[in-house]
Chain A
Amino acid sequence: MSFGDRVLWSGLDLELQPGEFLAVLGPNGVGKSTLLKAVLGQQPLAAGQLLVGGRPPGRGSATVGYVPQQKSMDAATPLRARDLVALGLDGHRWGVPRRSTDARRRVDEALEAVGATGYADAPIGLLSGGEQQRVRIAQALATDPTLLLCDEPLLSLDLRHQRAVSAMIDRRRREHDTAVVFVTHEINPVLDLVDRVLYIAGGRHRVGTPAEVLTSATLSELYRTPVDVLDVRGRIVVVGTQEEPGGCEHHEQHGDTSAEPAASVRRG
Chain B
Amino acid sequence: MGDLFDYSDYGQLLGLVHNSLIAAALLGLVGGLVGVFVQLRDLQFAVHGISELSFAGAAAALLLGANVALGSVVGSLLAAALIGGLGVRARDRNSVIGVLMPFGLGLGVLFLALYEGRAANKFGLLTGQVVAVDTVRLNWLVGVSIVVLAGMALIWRPLLFVSADPEVAVARGLPAGLLSVGFTLLLGLAVSMAVQVVGALLVLSLLVTPAAAAFRVTASPVLAPVLSVVFAVVSAVGGILLALGGSIPISPFVTTISFVIYLVCRAVSARRVRGGWGHRLPAAAAPTPVPIP
Contact = CB atoms under 8 A, between A and B. Distances in A.
B280 A118 contact: yes
A59 B173 contact: yes
A121 B221 contact: no
Given A78-B224, A171-B290, A60 B281 contact: no
A17 B278 CA distance: 40
A167 B291 contact: yes
A77 B40 contact: yes
A122 B280 contact: yes
B39 interface: yes
Contacts of A87: 157, 160-161, 164-165, 168-169
Interface string B140-179: 0000000000000111111011001101111111100000
B279 A93 contact: no
Interface stretch (B8-16, B71-79, B91-99, B212-220): B212-220
B284 interface: yes
A134 interface: yes
Contacts of A69: 167
Contacts of A116: 284
Nearest to B154: A94
A80 B171 contact: no
Interface string B38-53: 0110000000000000
Contacts of B279: 119, 121-122
Contact of B289 (A92, A94, A164): A164
Contact of A115 (B160, B161, B172, B284): B284
A193 to B, nearest CB: 7
**B interface residue count range (under 10 / 10 to 19 / 20 to 34 / 35 or more):** 35 or more
A83 B289 CA distance: 24
A48 to B, nearest CB: 21
Interface residues of A, number: 62
Interface string A74-105: 00111110011001101111111100000000
Interface in A39-83: 40-42, 58-62, 64, 66, 68-69, 71, 73, 76-80, 83
B170 A42 contact: yes
B278 A127 contact: yes
The residue among B171, B277, B290 with the most chain A CB atoms within 10 A of its own CB is: B171
A130 interface: yes
B114 interface: no
Contact of A79 (B164, B212, B214, B283): B164
Given A58-B173, A91-B169, A118-B280, A163 B154 contact: no
A60 B174 contact: yes
A126 B277 contact: yes
A62 B168 CA distance: 12
Give 4 closest A-B pairs by Cβ, nearest first: A60-B173, A118-B284, A123-B219, A91-B161
Interface of B: 36, 39-40, 153-158, 160-161, 164-165, 167-174, 212, 214-216, 218-221, 224, 273, 277-281, 283-285, 287-293
Given A83-B220, A119-B284, 11 more contacts: A60-B174, A68-B171, A73-B165, A78-B219, A92-B161, A92-B172, A92-B174, A95-B154, A119-B279, A122-B278, A167-B290
13 contacts: A60-B171, A66-B171, A68-B171, A78-B215, A78-B219, A83-B220, A84-B164, A87-B157, A88-B168, A95-B154, A95-B157, A97-B221, A118-B285
